[in-house]
Amino acid sequence: MTKISTDPPAFRVRPAQPEEAGAFFAQTPEQYAQMGAIGCVRMDFGKRGTAFWHTWHPRGREELNSPEFRAELQQVVDTLRETVLKDLSSMRHFCYENGGKIPGGWSQNYGYVVETEHYEYCLRCNPVPGDYQAHLLCYDLNEQKINHAYQPLVGRVHFINGDAQQFTDAKAYLTCIREELPHEATTGFRFRTITQDPAIRKAVDDIVYDFYGEENTHTEEDYKLGSSEGLRMSGM
């Protein structure tokens, strides 16, 4: 007879990439809807750094906050409480050991992602006393797929202050890169091209090459063959 395991599921926690920073900070209602946002758990460890206070803030349609989601969210938080959310000292140690630095915030923030079959959890850690130490933004992956099926993402941009924007319009995305690239040293402007459309990917590289006074010698055919991964500015 097969024994049914009653153990809680194992959740893989991975450090975030800098270009994912936008998913960890506040967004516009339109962006939340596009990303399938459900809500955010805001947490802090109290004055002594050993308590655990938390509040829930809805960020999407109420029907996304289903009993199934709430049950899994509880399991995810319980798992994180064993390590990064145990207390302030443990969070500081976890962040310094596991990386995950993301731009944005008054102090250095760290991002970690837990992805399950239906949901994505983006934990932003701020391991300093006297402030909220953690925000856990929760997204519905099925909702993302539905939204992107009708409006596929072209690219994302974000800034050092935590501002971020997603583009489904190629012209607007290219215009943003062209206008913001000259200010990247002070604004921390970064971009990530999502689409695989070779014409758009080449147009992005054309802008970057031109900014540095060079010519993009790749043809559109090169991008179709996947021989170019695009120029990533300043470690982008």
Q: What are 102-119's pLDDT values in tens digits?
A: 887 778 999 999 999 999
pLDDT at residue 3 in the model: 39
What lies within 8 Å, CB to CB, of 224 at 6+ separation is 198
CB-based contacts of 48-56 (< 8 A; 24+ apart in sequence) = 49/87, 49/88, 49/89, 49/129, 50/87, 50/88, 52/81, 52/85, 52/87
Among the listed residues 13, 23, 15, the one whose alpha carbon sits nearest the alpha carbon of residue 104: 23
Domain ranges of the chain: 13-146, 152-235
Mean pLDDT on 195-214 = 92
What is the residue whose two structure tokens read 């996947």?
Answer: 226
Read off the pTM. Answer: 0.65
Q: Per residue in 166-191, pLDDT tens?
A: 788 899 999 999 999 999 999 989 89
> Is the pLDDT at 7 greater than 60, yes or no?
no
What lies within 8 Å, CB to CB, of 215 at 6+ separation is 209
DSSP three-state, residue 101: strand
Q: Are 36 and 60 in contact (CB under 8 A)?
A: yes
Category of 56 on φ-ψ map: left (φ > 0), alpha (ψ -120 to 50) or beta: beta
Q: Which string of b and e fits 195-210 if b means at least 16 CB within 10 Å? A: bebbebbbbbbbbbee
Q: Are 73 and 56 in contact (CB under 8 A)?
A: no
> Is the pLDDT at 54 greater than 90, yes or no?
yes
Q: Percent of the chain at pLDDT above 70? A: 89
Mean pLDDT on 215-226 = 81
